[in-house]
Structure 1
Amino acid sequence: MFSVFFRMMFLMSLVLASFRLVESDETVNLSSAIFSHTLQSLIQTDFGAQEKVGRDVDLNELKFYLYTSKNRGEETILNPLNPKELTSSRGKIFFLLHSWIYSKQYSTWYNELTNKLLNRYPEGNVVQVDWGSASYQDFGMTAYSTESIGYHIATIMSNLVLKFHVPTENFILIGHAMGAQICGWAGKYFIEHTKKKIGKIVALDPVGILFKDRPDSKKLNRNDAVGVHVIHTDAENRGFVPSGTIDFYPNGGYDQPGCHDFDVNSPNRLLIDVVFCSQARSYEYFIEAIGNPGSFLSHQCANEAELASRDCNGVEVGLGDLDTIRQGIFYLKTNSKPPYSQLSIY
């Protein structure tokens, strides 16, 4: 695990280097803003972030980009007030939500996961949500804004259900870190609007700072969807306590193999992700698992003590198996570099 001092010093070069990969005036301005907010918020998150009253995000600040098997190379911009492209859908509808200080443009995992999902679910629809304008804030203020973003997504889904009878089980929300908490809010408001639950939430290393001590009504929890799948990869910093119907703890849930090697060759990560390497592993494992069903077999742990000893021998469930009805705590080991799965099925 990186020390606080090391992470702060190394961050200064990594943030700026990450956003020099694309040369444009927008990139220069964006890198400067992100550097300022990142450094400020890294200090807060390591030394004690504080709850702050932020702002409610307007719907027009959110952008929704639809991808299907027919238009993988050409996105369709959805009108959230009239998402006509989804009204007759009977396939899965995935919403992807990036983390704090990111956007669609810099969430490099979006496109690869989109392709893997469409390969596995050819009738599916993948909506990449860009809430970047709200994510470039102080950490505490961004945490406050997650509720209003979740509300807007819930409203889109509930309108599709109530007006066009889209099956509730077709909705699957996939969120990374702060985006996972947005998924929790969306699930809560969907229940409030429809008295029903969406099919699944996949929480990729959900952020725990400023959320872990909240009541369940104000953070992601197992009741926000029929199935809440949580993948913990930086749990010591983000949240170790089980919060889903099924919780996966690769390599014990923190300090992921290979993260000390500064391996930045993965196509899924920017250089800034080296600082948050263990957190980034959550989506890298999930992407690989979706593309190779059954490749990340996990064993159920009887309790947290068994997980801590990494000696779990219960039933097997595949990380990325969105159809499983199993519940509980699951442990698995991974390789230190791609392919991360230790099963030879490629």
Structure 2
Amino acid sequence: MKLLKTFGLLVLLVGAASAGHKQGNQRRSNTQRSSNLKPTDWLSVQELQSLPSAEDITLQQLENMSVQEGEHLIGQIYHLFKIDRNLRPSYVPSASNVPVVFVRPNGQSVETNLNEMVANAKQQPNFGSEEVTIFITGLPQTSAAVARANKKLVQAYMQRYYGQQQPVNANNQDYDYNERQPATSSEEDYSESWKQPKQNRGNLVIIKLGATLTNLKRYALLDIEQTGQMIGKALVQLTDEADVPQEIIHVIGQGIGAQVAGAAGRQYKRWTGHQLRRITALDPAKIFASNNNVLTGLARGDADFVDAIHSSTCGMGTRQRVGDVDFYVNGPASTAPGADNVLEATMRATRYYAESVRPGNERNFAAVPASSMQQYESNEGYGRRAYMGIATQYDLKGDYVLNVNAKSPFGRSAPAQKQGTYHGLHQAWRNDKKNN
């Protein structure tokens, strides 16, 4: 833990002490040598001295840095965590301290906590009769970029499920980030045919894990497995006590919440013997601290279908493949175009997905299978075209690449005609199961 509190000085001392060993230490095996990589092997003394403590880094500081500065800082801290092999995940939020929000058809919200989520679900009219979308946030909404992205996703589901334009209750500041921009894009526009209120087609539940990650130390030391098991237990209770079948549960994880969603999916399967239908990862995050010899985070197989949108692989996000299908915006080693800082870049995945949720925009993000941006741009991609977002086909496999716009509308495809609903895909899948 001292590494977190005094990054520069402590690591410098460790590096100097390691460099001072001479003949006696040369008797160690080659394996031992390779396992004792020193920070000074890849960071200069000046860089180590200037590196701040993880406890002192705030979202506001990251927002005030350029993308390049933020990526550099995140990269340094990430590698220091990996070098210190004694650093283990140690932070697990209490279920009573994890806020949960139910979004109602009238735009009002019901707030509770993870402990009380199932009891509140049972009180919501017709809860679980249609698809249930569980959105796990990954950062606190003290950031304007986070608040804006989450608001867009909530608004998109409000329109998709209920045919309504309004967001959740304007008094709820969490989802009323003060934007005064005119509605001029597919991210904000509402197709005329969808303006009239429609029958309830789903339920949106927000697990605000991000609200508990108030500094980088908590974020980096989050115990993904234990936190995921806690959320997985709540999902099992939804099935057992609120009669919500697993085939209509769609878990959307944002950033570190995507990695937690994977652990939740595994816990759900262990306890029920069944898999969740879908987990969608919105810029799955780098994992800073993990236990040795334990695979952690999201991976294909954690749900019947796992899809991921990567928008900041050089910043907060990971380049590692985590799903059945992974979409890399502008290639595997790129940052979302138009983003001014690392927080905005990681939140772009949420913005892209929100745009695809809006009726008529499901096919805005056409992608092709490719393993590099060069392959994509030279038209050497292989296989069929696919659509990133809510319309992603469940039988897709592999890596896909696409270009996006720097500003909304982000998708480069023209708005499509009304597509089949996501619940329709669930229903077809359930019918197939019955027929088999």
TM-score (norm 1): 0.75
**Residue pairs, 1:94-133, within 5 angstroms:** 94-102=133-141, 107-122=147-162, 123-132=201-210
CA-CA distance at 1:248 after TM superposition: 0.5
Tell me, yes or no, if structure 1 residue 56 matches structure 2 residue 92.
yes
CA-CA distance at 1:285 after TM superposition: 1.2
CA contact (8 A) 1:91 1:125 kept: yes
CA-CA distance at 1:150 after TM superposition: 1.9
CA contact (8 A) 1:116 1:290 kept: yes
CA distance in 2, matches of 1:244, 1:279: 18
CA contact (8 A) 2:282 2:308 kept: yes
CA-CA distance at 1:13 after TM superposition: 10
- Cα RMSD, aligned residues only: 3.4
CA distance in 1, matches of 2:100, 2:58: 32
- Give the match for residue 173 of structure 2: none
Percent identity over the alignment is 20
Matched position secondary structure for 1:236:
coil
**Residue pairs, 1:241-252, within 5 angstroms:** 241-252=320-331
Tell me, yes or no, if structure 1 residue 80 matches structure 2 residue 127.
no
Residue identity matched to 2:363: G
Compared with structure 1, are the counterparts of its residues 104 and 14 closer, same or farther at alpha carbon in structure 2 (3 Å cutoff)?
closer
Residue identity matched to 1:77: E
> Could you list the runs of 4 or more consecutive aligned residues of structure 1 that deviate by over 6 angstroms after TM superposition?
11-14, 16-19, 211-216
CA contact (8 A) 2:122 2:242 kept: no
Tell me, yes or no, if structure 1 residue 309 matches structure 2 residue 309.
no
Compared with structure 1, are the counterparts of its residues 52 and 13 closer, same or farther at alpha carbon in structure 2 (3 Å cutoff)?
closer
CA distance in 2, matches of 1:258, 1:133: 26
Residue identity matched to 1:57: P
Compared with structure 1, are the counterparts of its residues 216 and 295 closer, same or farther at alpha carbon in structure 2 (3 Å cutoff)?
farther
Tell me, yes or no, if structure 1 residue 220 matches structure 2 residue 256.
no
**Residue pairs, 1:198-213, within 5 angstroms:** 198-210=276-288
Larger Rg: 2
- Give the match for residue 346 of structure 2: 279
Matched position secondary structure for 2:147:
coil
Aligned length: 302
Residue identity matched to 2:408: P
Structure 2: stretches of 5+ with no match in the other structure: 1-46, 65-69, 163-200, 417-436
Residue identity matched to 2:387: G
- Give the match for residue 15 of structure 1: 60
CA contact (8 A) 1:101 1:135 kept: yes
CA distance in 1, matches of 2:78, 2:394: 36
Compared with structure 1, are the counterparts of its residues 223 and 211 closer, same or farther at alpha carbon in structure 2 (3 Å cutoff)?
farther
CA-CA distance at 1:323 after TM superposition: 5.0
- Give the match for residue 29 of structure 1: none
Compared with structure 1, are the counterparts of its residues 45 and 92 closer, same or farther at alpha carbon in structure 2 (3 Å cutoff)?
farther
* Cα offsets for 1:116-175 (capped at 9, x unmatched): 123223421111122345312444665433333322221121112123432101111111
CA distance in 2, matches of 1:131, 1:216: 22
Matched position secondary structure for 2:223:
helix
TM-score (norm 2): 0.61
Compared with structure 1, are the counterparts of its residues 91 and 42 closer, same or farther at alpha carbon in structure 2 (3 Å cutoff)?
same
* Cα offsets for 1:44-100 (capped at 9, x unmatched): 5355235434233221011111013x232x101242251314685221111212224
**Residue pairs, 1:165-184, within 5 angstroms:** 165-184=243-262
CA contact (8 A) 2:161 2:202 kept: yes
CA contact (8 A) 2:300 2:323 kept: yes
